[in-house]
């Protein structure tokens, strides 16, 4: 917490992933993605892009 002010997050930039099976969903969630939506059986996930120092 002492150095948190040194992190510069990229606003509005995300990594995106999609999944159609339960196994794919498990892998994506384990990688740190959060579910955003589901369209016609395709689950859409995103996570913020890595920060830069």
Asked whether residue 41 is assigned to any structural domain, the reply reads: yes
Tracing tokens 């509005």 back to the chain, one arrives at 12
Asked whether residue 36 is assigned to any structural domain, the reply reads: yes
Report helix, strand or coil for 28.
Answer: helix
The domain total for the chain is: 1
Average pLDDT over residues 33-46: 94
Token digits for 9? Answer: 């997050």
Asked whether residue 26 is assigned to any structural domain, the reply reads: yes
> For 22-37, how does the pLDDT look when each residue is reduced to its tens digit (9 = 90+)?
999 999 999 999 999 9
Task: Give me the percent of the chain exceeding a pLDDT of 90.
Answer: 58
Asked whether residue 53 is assigned to any structural domain, the reply reads: no
Residue 19 CA to residue 25 CA, distance in Å, equals 6
Report helix, strand or coil for 26.
Answer: helix
**Which range marks the domain in which residue 44 is found?**
4-48
Are the CB atoms for 46 and 19 separated by under 8 Å?
no
Residue 3 confidence (pLDDT) above 70: no
pTM of the model: 0.70
């Amino acid at each position: 917490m002492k150095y948190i002010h040194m992190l510069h997050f990229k606003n509005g930039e995300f990594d995106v992933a999609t999944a159609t099976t339960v196994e794919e969903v498990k892998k994506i969630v384990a990688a740190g993605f959060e579910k955003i939506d589901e369209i016609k059986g395709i689950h859409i996930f995103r996570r913020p892009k890595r920060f830069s120092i």
